Structure 1
Amino acid sequence: MELSKRRFKEDFKRMLTELYSMDVPRSDPAEQYFTLGNLVRSYSARNWSRTNQHYLDRKQKQVYYFSMEFLLGRMLKSNLLNLGILDTVRSGLKELGIDLETVAKVELDPGLGNGGLGRLAACFIDSMATCEIPGHGNGIRFKYGLFKQKFVNGYQVELPENWLQNGNVWEIRRTNMAVTVNFYGKVWLEKCPEGYLIPHYENDSKVLAVPYDSPVIGYRNETVNTLRLWSAEMPPQDESTDYWSYIQQRNRIESISEVLYPDDSNFEGRLLRLKQEYFFVSAGVQSIIRHFRKMNVRMNRLAEKVSIHINDTHPALCVPELMRILLDEEHMDWEHAWNVTVNVMSYTNHTIMSEALEKWPTDMISTLLPRIYQIICEIDRRYAVKMGALYEREIIERTRIIEGGHVKMAHLAIIGSHSINGVAKLHTAILKEKVLHDFFLMYPSRFNNKTNGIAQRRWLMLANEPLRRMIDSKIGSDWESMPTELKMLKAFRNDEATLRDLAEIKRINKERFAAYVQQDMGLTINPDAIFDVQIKRLHAYKRQLLNLLHILSLYFKLKDNPAADIYPRVFIFGAKAAPSYTYAKEIIKLVNSVASLINKDPDIHDKLKIVFVENYGVSLAERIIPAADVSEQISLASKEASGTSNMKLMLNGAVTLATLDGANVEIRDRVGDENIIIFGLKEEEVYEYYHNRSYHSKSYYDNNPVLRRVLDALIDGTIPGIEAEGKDIFNSLVLYGDEYFVLKDFDAYVLAQENIDRLYRDPLKWQRMALINIADAGVFSSDYTVLQYATDIWDVAAKARRV
């Protein structure tokens, strides 16, 4: 949008007066933030309204992206950037005596996600608006989100993080668009004279789903899509309702949208999670159908106008919910309803991990969602009959939706969708060849790959403004809209002035992060050291343990010989563990205990430091990623579906240290073997071990003195305060099979780290590697990813972009 500095300052002062009845000198940062947020939303309002009306008038096909998580990050600067007024607003505020960065820090990170899944969803809706794809997000307005992580004596403690405590300036409550979601009760079907079945509900429980809409602003265009998040509320009650019964029922209902991923270690927690999944699915699908009816298009043409995307298995109930509406409300016959449903639905698989391939007890679903369970049973029955005529019984039984007293949500999503995609070439190959091989044999044309991507606007243009300015000075600004234009940077790979500029920018970012660590943690770190970064969800397969074992080996090397030639390192961790994931929480305790040991040891002379940031999230990532020298992507090959931190870090000039897992394979293919550090088992070797059952972890402990010393430190008192945790971790690695081959890959990892030590000592060579990583990162923009979805899966029009 066009906005002069003068007009902005006038608008800001007027809005401040209207909201708070005060002038600028008397206002505080919170008042300034909410004033600016309201002003920005007002700037986008006309385009938001026009976008929605344009879609309706043209009866345009629209995409609805259903995701349990949307890890958005702070939206103020992102919205200013996308509107094209960031510099104008920053300069205008400065003239008013206000610092934009101070104002931006008032905004709390929306706690609506846990990791890559939610951040991908946030990047996708941003990219859909930027590429002018008619696409919207659909999720839950969690009051407390995930949890606020605190370290107490090294242990993770989960605290509520009420990101809504001061309100959300971006959202609009749409009470008039609320819908009712039904739970429990009994359902019986009556055949009417016209031939269709009418469901009758008895003793069901109703929940009011109220939508809160936020604008999703495209980058420098006029498209503003919608993120719709649903809040669970008490439906209207009659005057005879008992007060205390009302309060109890209201608390039960509101708990549905209170906490992301409630503790699933007990029945009540699992039941609440299932309620959440159906709640936002039913509310979202009902809302879509209501909007579709405004088009005056026959319901059997729904797939021509609507695409519903199932992001992981959490929204898999979209399939039976749409069937319920088509059967019970639109009175379609089964075959027509099923054909419409399959053509509307598409599904992204994000994992091969068995615990993440959701399944729910049949008695839980039948009790909580009786009509939905009836429909799932019928989908399963018809599937077995139809496919049983074509395939052997063993394949049919392996692929049934209902099996062993459970409903398999991935199977439901696959059978009920016209497209199933993986999120990296290796991941998709594993799905086809191993994890979902039976389904691939049945539905080969449904399977496809869409490698994940990231929004370069947030992860470079906002998070690393010094680098953005340098790139603009070298190749112009076309890359900001066409990220693959970053490849033009390769023309400067041998230009020493450019490489020195890149080193200076990295130094600035490292100093910035070091200042944060000093202020927030009271820990001094050396910006001249290698900043070695592993930031991701804490899970055993991501192998933070492998990183830590290497750190311990360096520590012992320095203890034996303080003069050992080790380039100074700062190891940076950021990770949350699921509250019920005991082993991951033990690893957090171990990392913190080792950090305390090393950081306080004067013999180390600051050659090693460990920084484990609390409450890792988007805003902390924006501090860490521009400062990173090394990107740790060390999951066991075949376990990480894609990864997106690998892409964010390479975009900011970090050199990737990786196994050939997930999108690391494609990063290697882009940058070449000389610009990435690869180590460890390959996917086929991992599966060979699985097949032969020939891996014996204890032999590595017995035969490797360095590794044995490191592992013994977990149980011999070397590391204070980890008696129980150290024993559990030691046993898991040495005695109980080492599920993720940490000990097998240890030596290869140590050699890879030694290679990094050597490479970093040649500054020009290192910066050349960094520059090539930046230049090749453009292809991993989420803009290109969603354009592929739009063309290959959703069949919707989008703005043309060069790849």
Structure 2
Amino acid sequence: MDTDLQVAPRTGMDVDAFKKDIEQHLHYTLAKDKFSTTQWDNYRSVVLSVMDRLHDRWIDTQQRYYREESKRVYYISMEFLIGRLMDNMLINLGLQDVAAEAFKEVGMDYDKIREAEVDAGLGNGGLGRLAACYLDSMATLGIPAIGYGIRYDYGIFDQEIENGWQVEKPDLWLKYGYPWGIVRPKIQHPVKFYGETTSYVDDQGREHFDWVNTHDVQALAYDTPIPGYRNDVVNHLRLWKAASSHLFDLKSFNQGEYIEAVRTNLQEENISRVLYPNDKVFKGQELRLKQEYFLVSASLRDAFERFKTQFDDLRKIPQKMAIQCNDTHPNLAIPELMRLLMDEENLEWEQSWDIVTKTINYTNHTLMPEALEQWPLSLMSNLLPRHTQIIREIDRRFLNSIEVQGNGADHRKNRMRIISNEMDSRVRMANLGIVGSHKVNGVSEIHSDLMKKTIFKDFYEKYPEKFTNVTNGITPRRWLRQCNRKLADLISEHIGDEWVTHLDQLEKVEPLAEDDTFREQFAEIKRKNKKRLADYIERELDVKVNPESIFDVQIKRIHEYKRQLMAAFHAITLYNRIKANPDGDFTPRTIIFAGKAAPGYTMAKLHIKLINCVADKINNDPDIGDKLKCVFLPNYSVSLAEIMIPATNLSEQISTAGMEASGTGNMKFALNGALTIGTLDGANIEIREQVGDENIFIFGLTVEDIDELRSSGYNPNEYVDGNEELQKIIAQLSNGFFSPEDDTEIFMPIINALLNQGDYFMVLADYDAYVKKQEEVEKVFNNPDEWNRRAIINVANMGHFSSDRSIRDYADEIWKVDVK
């Protein structure tokens, strides 16, 4: 036997111990030698070595929570976009440099090991990225917490661009397994569907309910450790996989009926098969409702059983459990906890309701009524008959509690009721979330304010004490220390590294904005990051971009309210200006888009097609050269964001005012030294407050302006008639200038939406202000010292947007848990 493979300490934190652990796992766990090892094997051996160092800390952490009878936070979310985990794990363990040296000594390439990992397919976009940041912060702050989600077999989808169109391919993120996840075969919870309810009256005259003849599915637990930053705390993300509760039908199989033998099993396992793509327009489907209840039922039973191993008095639940519903999707937690308390623990309604409304909290993420879940009552009654009974009773009692008088009384009650009063009655999940929760929070100051003034005005007047704000945040570990190591090191050289857990320490960087040497070092890091992105673009798209140009970046879900269309119109404007004056003095610009459109969102997919057609025209025109490039990078992901964000000069945050709840991309860009061009929407407003008016490019209509314009009668044609550049763009889209030869009218739906259907997202109304603000951007960019000074000031003032601050706000205002 090779003596180098003798026992090495599996918790050693030095290079030698880590190197030996990698070698041992390759040899003993994976049965590989130097002749058969692949990059995937190398990656797995690294993961196993990291997990060795996590397990002691993980077990110790959970035992301490038990010993101290800690209050626990249960964060329930349909999405967790955790990205690749290797770097994050190593950084939080304080092992990144040790691992890099160990890799070198065993002949491994750090970057290739990192590239072998796939992004976990557990989310669509901002909702999932936020949840991932919050997991990191809860562990870093030492908060006893578990994230609960679903282990989707297939993620949102892999996006390919074919002939300019988005094409969806399966996201096979689990193709080779997921070494960060540990299956817990002994942790399975039954989840019930369908059936009916029966009732009986006991000797004391109390009515009891039984949910019977149900179709049961098993929820099987998979755990992924979530380490805090260098504090030996390890929480976890528990994901549920649907497993059949039926035995294999051997009789059918033996009779040759192979399909029937497995049909039921496959149908049950479909619950966790696919992540639903979110297009911000609610579309009810039975499978989606099944997923939501599957997540809620398994998670609450898991939390409930954990509570009961330590405590006998159910009245202690609000003291020992805080449940956070991330958006409306988990709001079935309210009737589910009522069911557990009443039907299984025999508590009365009043006592159960008191526990529920002190334990469950609801985060709202949208102001758009069309995006709020409303389930058909008929569907809910069939799938979840007992919950429908409970929801009806919640609704009845709630309506009886509303005291309204006057002419508008009936209208107000109808707006507030949980079950809508119409022919096709629907269960309004947001209303249920407000009535049944302890606290309701928005995710930025403007969003929370508009919640109280608009969609939930009636509820705010009844329950003012329930409403609060927690502005979103991002974890500085991943979104600066990990994705932009050179900038992180430069900052640490000057102010120390306390900022990694106390982001407000970045304010010490602000005086360095006036230091010539620091500005040049800062600029050099940005140049290298831009070169890295330029190389990626050339490799992926075979398009050469100018690294000295403005890298103007918009990365987010493709949606009309996010107004990628307006940025595309600006690209056309610049193109037309250069064509009209090829020898003119233009500031070079590279306009970069990335993002996915929901498969059924036809207009969003047409916007992608337009962007790609515009890019083809610009990038292949010899008159344009290096002055302008436009690219659409396919298959946007957390890992791609980690390349794009550090390279960005100008961050596009141009949603229609009042429609973006918060955003977190805006925070990530600013933290990495980009300047923002944006509307007064979402967290842009708070960013402006932090960095100062002169260090952000704000333009366009405000929420109040839009309300006034709509009420006075918005006519989009007036904006086109008064702007020659807009007229030309509309003409070019109409006459097929940017269209493929076989379909010159392909972009007419865009023209129709703008001119004939009211331009709901105010693209034309904001266009002129946007273009003028972009001209201001160019003037500042042409003064590198001034640009870099402003960029450094942005970095220095991002402390408020740490997810650590967000989680402290939750802990203090909502959960009432201690922070270490």
The answer to whether the superposition gives a TM-score over 0.5 is yes
Paired residue type of 1:744: A
Aligned residue-pair number? 798
User: Among residues 130, 153, 156, which one is paired with 1:143 in the alignment?
Assistant: 153
Does residue 604 (structure 1) correspond to residue 624 (structure 2)? The answer is: yes
Change (3 A) 1:239 1:508: closer
- How many angstroms does 1:121 deviate by? 0.2
- How many angstroms does 1:239 deviate by? 5.9
User: Among residues 762, 766, 769, which one is paired with 1:741 in the alignment?
Assistant: 762
User: Among residues 570, 590, 598, which one is paired with 1:550 in the alignment?
Assistant: 570
Q: Aligned ranges for residues 158-197 of structure 1 at < 5 Å?
A: 158-197=168-207
Q: Aligned ranges for residues 528-539 of structure 1 at < 5 Å?
A: 528-539=548-559
- How many angstroms does 1:355 deviate by? 2.2
**Are the counterparts in 2 of residues 62 and 305 from structure 1 also a CA contact under 8 Å?**
yes
Cα-Cα RMSD: 1.8
Secondary structure (helix, strand or coil) at the match of 1:170 reads coil
User: Among residues 617, 638, 645, which one is paired with 1:618 in the alignment?
Assistant: 638
**Are the counterparts in 2 of residues 631 and 656 from structure 1 also a CA contact under 8 Å?**
yes
| 1:732-773, Cα deviation, whole Å (9 max, x unpaired) | 011110001100000000000000111000010000011000
User: Among residues 299, 314, 318, which one is paired with 1:284 in the alignment?
Assistant: 299
| 1:537-576, Cα deviation, whole Å (9 max, x unpaired) | 1110000011111110111111111122221111111110
User: Among residues 400, 403, 413, which one is paired with 2:417 in the alignment?
Assistant: 400
Q: For the residues of structure 2 that align with 1:760 and 1:219, how far apart are their CA atoms?
A: 36
Does residue 255 (structure 1) correspond to residue 265 (structure 2)? The answer is: no
User: Among residues 717, 725, 731, which one is paired with 1:712 in the alignment?
Assistant: 731
Instruction: Look up the match of 1:696.
Output: 715
Paired residue type of 2:180: W
User: Among residues 450, 453, 463, which one is paired with 1:430 in the alignment?
Assistant: 450
- How many angstroms does 1:301 deviate by? 1.5
**Are the counterparts in 1 of residues 476 and 501 from structure 2 also a CA contact under 8 Å?**
no
Change (3 A) 1:639 1:266: closer
Instruction: Look up the match of 1:578.
Output: 598
Secondary structure (helix, strand or coil) at the match of 1:118 reads helix
**Are the counterparts in 2 of residues 262 and 273 from structure 1 also a CA contact under 8 Å?**
no
User: Among residues 444, 448, 468, which one is paired with 1:448 in the alignment?
Assistant: 468
Q: For the residues of structure 2 that align with 1:121 and 1:145, how far apart are their CA atoms?
A: 16
**Are the counterparts in 2 of residues 262 and 270 from structure 1 also a CA contact under 8 Å?**
no
Instruction: Look up the match of 1:205.
Output: 215
**Are the counterparts in 1 of residues 282 and 372 from structure 2 also a CA contact under 8 Å?**
no
- How many angstroms does 1:193 deviate by? 2.2
Secondary structure (helix, strand or coil) at the match of 1:546 reads helix
Q: For the residues of structure 2 that align with 1:794 and 1:265, how far apart are their CA atoms?
A: 28
**Are the counterparts in 1 of residues 444 and 682 from structure 2 also a CA contact under 8 Å?**
yes
Q: Aligned ranges for residues 6-17 of structure 1 at < 5 Å?
A: 6-17=16-27
- How many angstroms does 1:58 deviate by? 1.7
Does residue 483 (structure 1) correspond to residue 481 (structure 2)? The answer is: no
Secondary structure (helix, strand or coil) at the match of 1:713 reads helix
Paired residue type of 2:307: F
| 1:298-328, Cα deviation, whole Å (9 max, x unpaired) | 1122111111101000111010110110110
| 1:580-605, Cα deviation, whole Å (9 max, x unpaired) | 11111111111111111111111111
- How many angstroms does 1:195 deviate by? 4.1
- How many angstroms does 1:246 deviate by? 3.7
Does residue 58 (structure 1) correspond to residue 68 (structure 2)? The answer is: yes
Secondary structure (helix, strand or coil) at the match of 1:632 reads strand
Q: For the residues of structure 2 that align with 1:219 and 1:3, how far apart are their CA atoms?
A: 15
Does residue 76 (structure 1) correspond to residue 86 (structure 2)? The answer is: yes
Q: For the residues of structure 1 that align with 2:322 and 2:283, how far apart are their CA atoms?
A: 33
Does residue 215 (structure 1) correspond to residue 225 (structure 2)? The answer is: yes
Q: For the residues of structure 2 that align with 1:564 and 1:200, how far apart are their CA atoms?
A: 79
Q: For the residues of structure 1 that align with 2:261 and 2:60, how far apart are their CA atoms?
A: 41
User: Among residues 381, 397, 401, which one is paired with 1:386 in the alignment?
Assistant: 401
| 1:28-65, Cα deviation, whole Å (9 max, x unpaired) | 21111001101111111011111111112221110000
- How many angstroms does 1:393 deviate by? 3.7
- How many angstroms does 1:396 deviate by? 2.1
**Are the counterparts in 2 of residues 629 and 654 from structure 1 also a CA contact under 8 Å?**
yes
Does residue 776 (structure 1) correspond to residue 802 (structure 2)? The answer is: no
Instruction: Look up the match of 1:119.
Output: 129
TM-score, reference length from structure 1? 0.97
Secondary structure (helix, strand or coil) at the match of 1:714 reads helix
Secondary structure (helix, strand or coil) at the match of 1:138 reads strand
Paired residue type of 1:401: I
Change (3 A) 1:653 1:683: same
| 1:442-497, Cα deviation, whole Å (9 max, x unpaired) | 00011111000001111111101111111111111111121110110112111111
Q: For the residues of structure 1 that align with 2:675 and 2:265, how far apart are their CA atoms?
A: 52
Q: For the residues of structure 2 that align with 1:535 and 1:652, how far apart are their CA atoms?
A: 15
**Residues 466-475 or 245-254, more deviating:** 245-254
Instruction: Look up the match of 1:310.
Output: 325
Does residue 331 (structure 1) correspond to residue 346 (structure 2)? The answer is: yes
Structure 2: 5+ residue stretches without partners = 1-10, 254-258
Secondary structure (helix, strand or coil) at the match of 2:242 reads strand
Secondary structure (helix, strand or coil) at the match of 1:90 reads helix
**Are the counterparts in 1 of residues 364 and 441 from structure 2 also a CA contact under 8 Å?**
yes
Change (3 A) 1:267 1:798: closer
Q: For the residues of structure 1 that align with 2:807 and 2:218, how far apart are their CA atoms?
A: 32
Paired residue type of 1:597: K
Change (3 A) 1:218 1:367: same
Instruction: Look up the match of 2:692.
Output: 672
TM-score, reference length from structure 2? 0.95
Secondary structure (helix, strand or coil) at the match of 1:375 reads helix
Q: For the residues of structure 2 that align with 1:413 and 1:176, how far apart are their CA atoms?
A: 32
Q: For the residues of structure 1 that align with 2:210 and 2:497, how far apart are their CA atoms?
A: 61
Q: For the residues of structure 1 that align with 2:626 and 2:189, how far apart are their CA atoms?
A: 59
Question: Identical aligned pairs, as a percentage?
Answer: 44
Q: Aligned ranges for residues 97-136 of structure 1 at < 5 Å?
A: 97-136=107-146
Q: For the residues of structure 2 that align with 1:54 and 1:393, how far apart are their CA atoms?
A: 53
Q: For the residues of structure 1 that align with 2:430 and 2:456, how far apart are their CA atoms?
A: 10
Paired residue type of 1:601: D
Q: For the residues of structure 1 that align with 2:312 and 2:504, how far apart are their CA atoms?
A: 40
Instruction: Look up the match of 1:788.
Output: 809
Instruction: Look up the match of 1:439.
Output: 459
- How many angstroms does 1:390 deviate by? 8.6
Secondary structure (helix, strand or coil) at the match of 2:186 reads helix
**Are the counterparts in 2 of residues 264 and 273 from structure 1 also a CA contact under 8 Å?**
no
Change (3 A) 1:444 1:38: same
Paired residue type of 1:791: D
- How many angstroms does 1:683 deviate by? 1.3
**Are the counterparts in 2 of residues 16 and 24 from structure 1 also a CA contact under 8 Å?**
no
